[in-house]
Amino acid sequence: MREITYKQAIQEALREEMRRDERVFLLGEDIGVYGGAFGVTLGFLEEFGKARVRDTPISELGIVGAAAGAALMGMRPVVEIMFIDFSTLALDQLANQAAKMRFMFGGKARVPMVLRAPQGAGTGAAAQHSQSLEALFVHFPGLKVAMPSTPADAKGLLKAAIRDDNPVVFIEHKLLYNRKGPVPDGEHLVPLGRAEIKRPGRDLTLIAISNMVIKALEAAEILAAEGIEIEIVDPRTLVPLDEATVLDSVRRTGRVLIAHEACRTGGVGAEILARIVEEGFDYLDAPIRRLAGRDFPIPYSKVLERQVIPQVEDIVREARRLLGRAGGGKRNDQ
C-alpha cells in the first residue's frame, strides 16, 4: 500500500469530494492564494476556482455563520479555521445555530458542514495558538467530533464527515501533517463512530487520542521489551463514541489508561472514564488512570512546552504504575 502524509491524505479527501459533488466548497482565511496556514489547500484555487475556494475576511463568526446558512440551503461547505483557538470566536454560530437547527425544525432542516481546525502543542506557537479544545465541542449536542491520528483515518473520516448531514468538527493535530502512513488507493471511507485497535495487547488498555496515539505506539514498543503488552484503542471520533470497542478492550485487559494532550480538568478523558465505570466497572482490576496536559497555558519555551504535554516516558511510567511495576513514579501535576 502506498504511503502519503497526513496532509496529503486530507488534500486527497477534499479533492475527491469536490470532484464528486459540486455542492462541496471551501471557505476560510487565506485558503486560496496562500493555501491555508499549513498549506493544505495549496493549488485548490487554480483547480476549482474562486466560487468554490473562498478567501474570507478575518471573522470566524462570519465564516461559520455563512457556512451554516449555505448548508441549510443545500450546499456542503468545509470551513478551515486557521487555529482551533480562534474557533471560540465562532461558537455562537456553531453551537447555538448549526448544532441545533436539525432538532429545532424536527429533522426537516439539515446542516451538512465540516469545520476543520489544526490544534495542539509542539510547534512553539505559545498559549494562543497551541490549545487542544475537543472537550468544548463534545459538550454541545448536535455536533460530531472527529480526531484522526493517521493519514488513512484522516482521509476516510474527512470524506465521511463531508457526506454527513450533520455539522462535524474535524480536528487535525499540527504535528501529524508531515507524518507518513499507508492509505488505500481509490475510494476510502472510515465511518464516524467506529474506534480502532491500533495495537492489540493483554495487560492494559490505553485509550489514546489524536497525536497521543503516535506516542502510545512508541511507548508500547518500550514496554513490550519488558514483557508488557498494552492494547492501544484509538476512538477516532469522540462524538459518536464507540463505547462497545472500548468496553470490549477493558473486559479483556482489566486495566485502563486514558491519554490526551488537552488539559486534565474537564478533558474528554474524564467522560470516557465515567462511561467505563458506568458500563464496565466489573471488568476493572485497578482504578482507571488519566494522563493529560497540565492545567496551564501552553508556554512558548520549548523546554517548558514539553513539560506541559504528556510524553512517551510519561505513558511508560503510568503503564508500569498501573501494573504495579517498578518505576511508576508520579507526575508533579497529578
**pLDDT, tens digit, for every residue of 45-83?**
999 999 999 999 999 999 999 999 999 999 999 999 999
For range 234-242, the mean pLDDT: 98
Fold of 3-182: Rossmann fold (3.40.50)
For range 298-318, the mean pLDDT: 97
Question: Using CA atoms, how far apart are residues 124 and 321, in angstroms rounded to an integer?
Answer: 31
Query: How confident is the model over 27-51, as pLDDT tens digits?
Result: 999 999 999 999 999 999 999 999 9
Confidence class of residue 128 from pLDDT cuts 50, 70 and 90? Answer: very high
pLDDT of residue 1: 86
Q: Give 269: exposed, middle or buried? Use CB within 10 Å, 0-12, 13-18, 19+.
A: buried
Task: List the catalytic residues.
Answer: 60, 129
User: Does the pLDDT at position 331 exceed 70?
Assistant: no
Task: Answer yes or no: are the C-beta atoms of 170 and 204 closer than 8 Å.
Answer: no
For range 232-239, the mean pLDDT: 98
> Over the chain, what is the mean pLDDT?
96
Task: Answer yes or no: are the C-beta atoms of 243 and 194 closer than 8 Å.
Answer: no
Domain 196-322 has what CATH class? alpha beta
CATH topology agreement for domains 3-182 and 196-322: yes
In the chain, where the domains are located: 3-182, 196-322
Whole-structure pTM value: 0.95
Query: What percentage of the chain exceeds 90 in pLDDT?
Result: 96
